[in-house]
């Protein structure tokens, strides 16, 4: 028997010795196959050792990292890239910071990405709608795409993205409004400039917004035909009428007719769309420092926005489901045939609406978590 020995160095400088015994009279095709397996194994295993070493370094829990992480909401200008948990095969770099204006930003550097992206979440939703104008937060979401201080025409941001392999979207939930988009990597900085103007200096003219009434009405009518939405409306209807969860959160043509002046829309925007009430994520090919600098440059436009001075509306909220509204059995006529059992219970502190976990048991008997 002949003995073959291969020495491979890992990324720490230490040798990894592979000893193999090969028969003298092994046929040539089998030897070629054996060597091919050896080479393939080395190519496959070496990157794994590299990522394992990186994983160990990332997961070293340091006291100063924990202190910085716990104080992230308090220290302006802090840049943090330490103990962020991710997959061992994730080569992307994550760095978070709080800008001078109070905006929290997470940048993700991925040299291999084919598209750049950004997202901004604002801590305002249908719960903050005035009682007489349900759907106002949803309308503001639509209105932000109807022009800003530099780009007066509607939908210029979406047109720009479409010209550069991208698109955008947004949604309004009970307690958050989220805007996100994708774009060609070489247009990330220009798109961030436009995005920040969209958030900070929207026109919000009543005449333009009135055209969006019909878009919101179309969404409302479409939702009426969906079975899941039917159940959701029933759940909202059963809630305490004094709680915002009971309201018609997306709004429709009827509720928005109560909006008579653009000053109401602009006041709602200035009250809730300020840096400390927002979180942004930027994703691109550039390294983390370049992405941070890009974010500082573009999102500095948010500094002219002032925090709301009035106390939080939700501080005076009553329970969404007081005792007299619990333990209720409801039969309803569904939009489609099927056998569903919906079980819902409130969990104190789970969310501001007081809803807990919901499970649906289908006719197959398999519970699906919602």
Q: Give the model's pLDDT for residue 33.
A: 78
Classify strands 104-109 and 278-284 as parallel, antiparallel or unpaired: parallel
| Confidence band, pLDDT 50/70/90 cuts, at residue 329 | confident
Predicted model pTM: 0.73
Asked if residue 176 is part of any domain, the answer here is yes
CA distance 47 to 335: 54
- E-strand stretches of 1-90: 2-9, 15-22, 79-80
Instruction: Say whether both 39 and 10 belong to one domain.
Output: yes
Q: Quick one: pLDDT at residue 290?
A: 96
pLDDT category at 66 given cuts 50, 70, 90 is: very low
pLDDT digits (tens, 9 = 90+) for 182-235: 999 999 999 999 999 999 999 998 888 888 999 999 999 988 888 888 888 888
- Render pLDDT for 352-365 as a digit per residue (tens, 0 to 9): 554 544 444 444 33
| 147 membership: H or E segment, kind and range | none
- Let me know: does 183 contact 166? Beta carbons within 8 Å: yes
Residues 294 and 337 in one domain: no
Residue 67 falls within a domain, yes or no? no
* Residues 332, 217 within the same domain: no
Q: Which of 17, 33, 58 is the last residue of a domain?
A: 58
The last residue of one of the domains, among 299, 314, 329, is 314
The pLDDT value recorded for residue 317 is: 66
pLDDT of 13 > 70? The answer is no
Residue 220 lies in a domain: yes
What integer pLDDT is reported at residue 81 of this predicted model?
56
Query: What pLDDT is recorded for position 91?
Result: 86
Residue 111 above 80 pLDDT?
A: yes
Selection from 84, 124, 74 nearest residue 106 by Cα = 84
What are the strands, taking DSSP E only, across 43-115? Answer: 79-80, 93-98, 104-109
Q: How many domains does the chain have?
A: 3
Q: For the segment 237-256, what is each residue's pLDDT rounded down to a tens digit? A: 888 898 898 999 999 999 99
Residues 199, 264 within the same domain: yes
141 is catalytic: yes
| pLDDT band, very low/low/confident/very high, at 276 (cuts 50, 70, 90) | very high
pLDDT greater than 60 at residue 35: yes
Mean pLDDT, all residues of the chain: 78
Query: E strand or H helix at 334, and its extent?
Result: none
Question: Do 221 and 341 share a domain, yes or no?
Answer: no
Q: Locate tokens 């992230």: which residue?
A: 72
Same domain, 346 and 246: no
Using 50, 70 and 90 to split pLDDT, how confident is the model at 2? Answer: very low
Q: Span 68-93, mean pLDDT?
A: 59
Residues 282 and 204 in one domain: yes
Task: Read off the pLDDT of residues 123-144 as tens digits, 9 standing for 90 and up.
Answer: 999 999 999 999 999 999 999 9
The DSSP symbol for 269 reads H
Parent domain of 39: 2-58
Rounded to whole angstroms, the Cα distance separating 145 from 141 reads: 8
Task: Classify residue 103 by burial, with Cβ atoms within 10 Å: 0-12, 13-18, 19+.
Answer: buried
pLDDT bin (cut points 50, 70, 90) of residue 305 is: low
Tell me if 65 is assigned to some domain: no
Q: Write out the E strands in the chain.
A: 2-9, 15-22, 79-80, 93-98, 104-109, 116-122, 167-172, 177-183, 278-284, 341-346, 355-361, 367-369
Give residue 254's pLDDT: 92
Rounded CA separation 134/188 (Å): 35
183 and 307 together in one domain: yes
Is there a single domain that holds both residue 284 and residue 177? yes
Q: What is the pLDDT of residue 331?
A: 82
Both 128 and 183 in one domain: the answer is yes
Asked, for residue 304, whether it belongs to a domain, the answer is yes
Q: pLDDT band at residue 158, thresholds of 50, 70 and 90? A: very high
Which pLDDT band, with edges at 50, 70 and 90, does 327 fall under? confident
Give the C-alpha separation, 281 to 273, whole Å.
Answer: 16
The CATH number of residue 305's host domain is 3.30.830.10
Model pLDDT, residue 340: 73
Is the pLDDT higher at 30 or at 224? 224
- 227 and 346 share one domain: no
In a shared domain, residues 254 and 360? no
Catalytic residue from among 63, 64, 76, 141: 141
């Amino acid at each position: 028997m002949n003995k073959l020995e291969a020495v491979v160095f890992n990324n720490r400088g230490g040798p990894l010795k592979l000893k193999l015994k090969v028969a003298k009279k092994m046929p040539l095709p089998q030897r070629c196959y054996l060597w091919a397996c050896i080479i393939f194994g080395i190519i496959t295993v070496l990157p794994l050792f590299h990522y394992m070493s990186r994983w160990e370094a990332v997961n070293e829990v340091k006291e100063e990292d924990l202190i910085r992480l716990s104080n992230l909401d308090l220290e302006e200008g802090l840049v943090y890239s330490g103990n962020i948990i991710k997959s061992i095969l994730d080569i992307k770099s994550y760095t978070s910071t709080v800008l001078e204006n109070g905006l929290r930003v997470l940048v993700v550097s991925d040299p291999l990405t084919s598209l750049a992206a950004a997202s901004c979440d604002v801590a305002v939703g249908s719960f903050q709608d005035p009682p007489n104008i349900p759907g106002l937060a949803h309308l503001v979401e639509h209105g932000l795409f109807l022009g800003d201080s530099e780009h007066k025409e509607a939908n210029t941001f979406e047109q720009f993205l479409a010209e550069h392999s991208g698109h955008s979207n947004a949604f309004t939930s009970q307690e958050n409004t989220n805007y996100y988009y994708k774009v060609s990597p070489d247009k990330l900085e220009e798109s961030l400039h436009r995005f920040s103007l969209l958030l900070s200096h929207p026109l919000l003219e009543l005449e333009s917004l009135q055209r969006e009434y019909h878009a919101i009405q179309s969404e409302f009518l479409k939702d009426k035909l969906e079975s899941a939405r039917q159940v959701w409306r029933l759940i909202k209807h059963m809630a305490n009428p004094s709680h915002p969860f009971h309201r018609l959160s997306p709004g429709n043509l009827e509720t928005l007719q109560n909006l008579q002046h653009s000053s109401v829309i602009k006041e709602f925007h200035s009250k809730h769309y300020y840096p400390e009430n927002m979180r942004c994520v930027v994703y691109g090919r550039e390294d983390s420092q370049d992405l941070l600098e890009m974010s500082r440059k573009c999102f500095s436009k948010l500094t002219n926005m002032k925090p709301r001075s009035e106390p939080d509306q939700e501080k005076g909220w009553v329970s969404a489901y007081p005792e007299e509204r619990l333990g209720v059995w409801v039969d309803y006529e569904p939009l489609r045939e099927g056998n569903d059992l919906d079980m819902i219970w409130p969990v104190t502190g789970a969310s501001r609406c007081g809803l807990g976990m919901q499970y649906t048991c289908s006719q197959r008997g398999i519970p699906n978590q919602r």
